[in-house]
């Protein structure tokens, strides 16, 4: 019986961590279908509405590297639980205040908590699973996260419209509390380490003491030969025999030294631009501007808009099921898979923008099926990063790469709000399809920049790998 339960623990740990990530996605995208409702609730224009997700994403992106540093030091469990508490507090504030300044503070708390979650979940995976499983598990984690986005699109919008603002956001806070309590008694950073509850009580259970990773499990029935080691550069350590006294500026200096050393590797830079380029269109649409575009621009009913938004989430989930095995099978072509998906997204959006008048429903369906493929495609960035980042830098490197897509997203969200206001179409009563087409065109320069940099860094990475006797993987 013991032998049967021990291999199950990695899956339980991953499952609870993935659920915590799904709750973080619910928190992140809780305004996805509530843009017009938020404008009415707070009495704000388009630029101020855009400030909610923009500030949230600034906090999220700005904290990725600091959170990565803390992750390497304190581990995933502490960061996931801390993030959960921050999001709970943020949604309680969002539910109960009427002042827009306090509402922005609430989104800051949500962004800070969200920043702690995803990279912490990704950091858990190599501790519990074999390298050959990581690409598929990464995509499955993203798929479960997309289920959280589906909840924010339909049930949350229904709860707010039916029971009111306080009940809707209070329900998110309550859900977050339940999952955080579950994580306290389940999550373990690695085999042999206790849960947060066990650390607090000082008592470790038999399950913790007997835990082992599937990476070394002989019961998997598959080959134990994994890919080559991922440590692509040496880690210099201080001379223990001659320790230097710490100075106040040592922390920032080490931080910038770490950043420069990581960015000196073309493969890390490549992973940054891969993550920058493909996901921002779907993020922008789902986090804020999708519902206003479909209702105020195209002229759909709120119910039809919610249905189409749910289609984007389902498409993303389906893509997550396929891209994990595909990117694992075609390792040397995985970057070009990302590029192909990005080009398809850009082509469909340009078609919508240039369409004379309102695009027909079939064009909108194509847009909402193709556009969300960019989210799962961006997970390829973490596979590339893992191939070039030393183990002791994993949290830092993952955080660095994860800033990319969200930096692009917050820029586009802000620019769309500014362009709408510049055209005098910044409030629900002034929305127009023409104004939205001009506003969404701000995505095109970012696609051009990202694709150009991917091509440049892919060539540099290939040359670097050849010089060091490595193969792309």
**Each residue of 413-426: pLDDT tens digit?**
889 989 998 988 87
Contact present, 195 and 188 (Cβ < 8 Å): yes
Place of tokens 């099921």: 321
Selecting from 3.90.226.10, 1.20.1250.20, 3.40.50.720, 3.40.309.10, what CATH number does the domain 2-200+256-467 have? 1.20.1250.20
Give residue 67's pLDDT: 87
Per-residue confidence band for 391, with pLDDT thresholds at 50, 70 and 90? low
Alpha-carbon distance 369 to 356, whole Å? 21
Tokens of 259: 């950043």
Q: Is the confidence at residue 181, as pLDDT, over 90?
A: yes
Vertex 314: Cα angle to 310 and 320 (nearest 5)? 145
The H helix count followed by the E strand count for the chain is 24, 0
Q: Is the confidence at residue 393, as pLDDT, over 80?
A: no
Tokens of 219: 């019961």
Highest mean pLDDT among 73-82, 123-132, 240-249: 73-82
Q: Per-residue pLDDT averaged across 193-221, rounded?
A: 74
Q: Is the confidence at residue 146, as pLDDT, over 80?
A: no
Q: Per-residue pLDDT averaged across 446-458, rounded?
A: 94
Give residue 15's pLDDT: 93
Give residue 278's pLDDT: 92
pLDDT digits (tens, 9 = 90+) for 15-36: 999 999 999 999 888 876 677 7
Give residue 229's pLDDT: 38
Least-confidence region, from 153-157, 230-234, 385-389: 230-234
Query: Exposed (0-12), middle (13-18) or buried (19+): which is 73, by Cβ within 10 Å?
Result: exposed
Give residue 33's pLDDT: 65
Contact present, 436 and 426 (Cβ < 8 Å): no
Q: Per-residue pLDDT averaged across 42-56, rounded?
A: 79
Of 90, 79, 154, give the one whose Cα is nearest residue 118: 79
Alpha-carbon distance 30 to 88, whole Å? 13
Q: Per-residue pLDDT averaged across 127-150, rounded?
A: 82
Inter-residue long-range contacts of 18-21, CB under 8 Å, 24+ positions, other chains counted: 18/121, 18/140, 18/141, 18/144, 18/145, 19/144, 19/179, 19/182, 20/80, 20/83, 20/84, 20/117, 20/121, 20/179, 20/180, 20/183, 20/187, 21/117, 21/118, 21/121, 21/141, 21/144, 21/145, 21/148
Share of the chain above pLDDT 70, in %: 87
pLDDT digits (tens, 9 = 90+) for 402-412: 889 888 988 99
Residue 235: Cβ within 10 Å count: 11
Give residue 216's pLDDT: 58
Inter-axis angle of helices 8-28 and 100-115, nearest 10: 160
Per-residue confidence band for 314, with pLDDT thresholds at 50, 70 and 90? confident
Of 14, 49, 10, give the one whose Cα is nearest residue 32: 49
Contact present, 43 and 99 (Cβ < 8 Å): no
Highest mean pLDDT among 45-49, 153-157, 456-460: 456-460
Give residue 275's pLDDT: 94
Give residue 105's pLDDT: 92
Give residue 2's pLDDT: 44
- What pTM was computed for the model? 0.70
Alpha-carbon distance 264 to 119, whole Å? 22
Q: Is the dihedral of CA 348, 350, 352, 356 positive or negative?
A: negative
Tokens of 62: 């700005």
Domain residue limits, the chain: 2-200+256-467
Q: Per-residue pLDDT averaged across 345-374, rounded?
A: 93
Give residue 174's pLDDT: 94
Of 417, 425, 422, 326, give the one whose Cα is nearest residue 377: 326
Of 382, 380, 407, give the one whose Cα is nearest residue 397: 382
Share of the chain above pLDDT 90, in %: 29
**Alpha helices (runs of H) in 330-393, residue ranges in sequence order:** 334-354, 361-370, 374-378, 380-388
Give residue 291's pLDDT: 84
Q: How does 171-193 read in b/e, with b if 16+ C-beta sit within 10 Å? A: bbbebbbebbeebbebbbbbbeb
């Amino acid at each position: 019986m013991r032998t049967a339960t021990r291999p199950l623990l990695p899956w339980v740990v991953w499952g609870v961590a993935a659920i915590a990530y799904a709750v973080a996605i619910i928190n992140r995208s809780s305004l996805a279908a509530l843009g017009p409702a938020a404008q009415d609730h707070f009495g704000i224009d388009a630029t101020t509405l855009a400030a909610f997700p923009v500030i949230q994403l600034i906090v999220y992106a700005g904290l990725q590297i600091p959170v990565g540093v803390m992750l390497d030091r304190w581990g995933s469990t502490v960061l996931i639980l801390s993030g959960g508490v921050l999001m709970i507090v943020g949604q309680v504030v969002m539910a109960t205040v009427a002042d827009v300044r306090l509402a922005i503070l609430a989104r800051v708390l949500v962004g800070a908590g969200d920043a702690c979650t995803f990279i912490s979940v990704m950091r858990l995976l190599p501790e519990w699973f074999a390298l050959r499983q990581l690409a598929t598990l990464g995509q499955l984690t993203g798929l479960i996260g997309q289920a959280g986005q589906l909840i924010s699109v339909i049930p949350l919008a229904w709860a707010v419209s039916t029971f009111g603002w306080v009940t809707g956001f209070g329900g998110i806070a309550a859900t977050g509390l339940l999952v955080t309590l579950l994580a306290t008694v389940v999550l373990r950073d690695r085999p042999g380490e206790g849960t947060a509850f066990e650390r607090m009580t000082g008592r470790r259970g038999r399950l913790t003491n007997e835990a082992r990773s599937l990476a070394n499990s002989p019961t998997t029935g598959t080959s134990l030969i994994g890919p080559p080691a991922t440590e692509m550069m040496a880690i210099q350590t201080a001379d223990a025999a001659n320790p230097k006294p710490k100075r106040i500026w040592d922390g920032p200096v080490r931080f910038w030294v770490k950043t420069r050393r990581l960015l000196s590797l073309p493969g890390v830079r490549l992973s940054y631009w891969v993550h920058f380029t493909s996901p921002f269109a779907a993020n922008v649409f789902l986090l804020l501007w999708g519902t206003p575009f479909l209702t105020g621009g195209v002229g759909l009913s709120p119910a039809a808009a919610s249905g189409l938004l749910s289609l984007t989430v389902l498409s993303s989930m389906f893509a997550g099921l396929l891209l994990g095995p595909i990117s694992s099978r075609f390792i040397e072509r995985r970057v070009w898979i990302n590029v192909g998906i990005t080009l398809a997204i850009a082509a469909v959006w340009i078609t919508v923008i240039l369409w004379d008048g309102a695009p027909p429903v079939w064009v909108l369906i194509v847009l909402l099926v193709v556009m969300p493929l960019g989210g799962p495609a961006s997970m390829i960035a973490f596979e590339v990063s893992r191939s070039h980042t030393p183990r002791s830098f994993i949290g830092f490197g993952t955080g660095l790469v994860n800033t990319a897509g969200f930096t692009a997203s917050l820029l586009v969200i802000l620019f769309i709000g500014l362009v709408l206001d510049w055209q005098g179409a910044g409030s629900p009563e002034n929305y127009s399809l023409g104004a939205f087409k001009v506003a969404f065109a701000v995505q095109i320069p970012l696609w051009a920049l990202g694709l150009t940099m991917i091509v440049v860094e892919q060539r540099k990475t290939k040359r670097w790998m050849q010089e060091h006797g490595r193969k792309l993987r």
